[in-house]
Amino acid sequence: MSALEVGTVVAALVLWGIVSADSESIYFPPLTEILDRFAANWMFERVGSDVVPSLIRVIVGFLLSALIGIAVGLLLGRSRSLRGALGPPLEFLRNVPPPALVPFALLVFGIGESEKIFLIVLGCVFPILLATVDGVADIDPVTRDTADAYRIGGAQRLGSVILPAAAPRIAAGMRTSLSLAVILMVVSEMVASTDGIGHFVVEAQRSFAIADMWSGILLLGLVGYALNLGFALAENRLLWWRRAAARAARGAPGTPGRPASRPGRAGWGDRRR
């Protein structure tokens, strides 16, 4: 984040603080009070009892669904007939709004860790699975033919040809699933849980501890932001070649193969980035 972006965020917070300073409304307490409760609750009193369980659920659920989604997606992506046969049921399942499965998860697992992780996996596996299938199925036939010509097979083909080629699509699917995982984590904690940030927020609302409730909402926002940031950094690391390719395509100075179609307009595309 550039200095300007950080600056505007700080300015927005300051504005919120000023506007809410003399607030008499019960539901919108002054920002200072909220920050007070935030420090009291989350630095670091309730981290172990609420933040850690929530984070574990979301991360374990997300990684598990990525594992299953990518594995099954790879299988389906390679076989046209499997795709044709299983396509419609998968399309149907993918369209079930995941929160509708909360009662199902509760029924099968009762209240507990496995129920929440089960719910998250159920909701998050489909975007990743379908993205993987798309990514594998759409691999450039030239790439495939080249791999055939060099007789690259088996594990090496998977690791060095198929996965990198499908990776951008898979990453896009994973990004969708990450937001879904956070939503499902919060929903399952609000509906049936004994701990977790979502549970804390609902309890605070029920006992009319409004500033505490707001502190929980703020924390959820931060968690969502941090997880997304973490994923973006991981993606950048693992898919490092995308940045280089994008830069070369734009014709940044110093990269070989700058497009010659716009003479005298070096860096033209950069203006809009």
Partner 1 sequence: MSAFTEKVGSLLVIVAILAGLELVVHAGLLDERHFPPPTEVADALVDQMGDPALAEEIGQTLQGWGLGLALAAALALPLGIAIGCSQIAYRVLRGPIELMRPVPSVAFVPLVVLTLGSGLEGKVFLVAFAAFWPLLIHAIYGVRGIDPLLLETARSLGIGPLTRFGRIVVPGAMPYVATGLRTASAIALILSVTAEIVIGAPGLGHSISLAGAAGATPDMYGLIAVAGALGWGLNALLSRLERRVLPWRAAWTGVEE
Q: Which residues bind partner 1 (CB under 8 A)?
A: 1-2, 4-9, 12, 27, 81, 84-89, 91-93, 95-104, 106-108, 131, 134, 169, 172, 179-180, 182-183, 186-187, 190-191, 198, 201-202, 204-205, 210, 213-214, 216-217, 220-221, 224-225, 227-228, 268, 271-272
Return all residues near 51 (Cβ < 8 A) that are at least 6 apart: 42, 197, 219, 223
* Minimum distance of partner 1 from residue 131's CB (angstroms): 8
Taking the least distance from each CB to partner 1, the nearer of 87 and 159 is 87
The CA distance from 271 to 273, in Å, is 6
* Minimum distance of partner 1 from residue 17's CB (angstroms): 15
167: phi > 0 → left, psi -120 to 50 → alpha, else beta; which? alpha
* Minimum distance of partner 1 from residue 28's CB (angstroms): 9
| Count of alpha carbons within 13 angstroms of residue 12, beta-carbon side | 6
Taking the least distance from each CB to partner 1, the nearer of 108 and 150 is 108
Tokens of 49: 């009892």
The CA distance from 195 to 198, in Å, is 8
Give the total residue count for the chain: 273
Taking the least distance from each CB to partner 1, the nearer of 108 and 234 is 108
Taking the least distance from each CB to partner 1, the nearer of 69 and 216 is 216
Q: Which helix (H) or strand (E) holds 225?
A: helix 210-238
Report the alpha-carbon angle 137-138-144, nearest 5. Answer: 85
Query: With contact defined as beta carbons under 8 Å apart, do 267 and 253 qualify?
Result: yes
* Minimum distance of partner 1 from residue 118's CB (angstroms): 12
Taking the least distance from each CB to partner 1, the nearer of 13 and 71 is 13
In 3D space, the residue among 122, 21, 135 whose CA is nearest the CA of residue 74 turns out to be 135
* Minimum distance of partner 1 from residue 76's CB (angstroms): 13
* Minimum distance of partner 1 from residue 229's CB (angstroms): 8
Taking the least distance from each CB to partner 1, the nearer of 40 and 93 is 93
In 3D space, the residue among 59, 55, 187, 72 whose CA is nearest the CA of residue 126 turns out to be 72
In 3D space, the residue among 226, 225, 220 whose CA is nearest the CA of residue 38 turns out to be 220
Taking the least distance from each CB to partner 1, the nearer of 59 and 152 is 59
E strands, 86-152, in order? none
CA-derived radius of gyration, the chain: 23
* Minimum distance of partner 1 from residue 174's CB (angstroms): 13
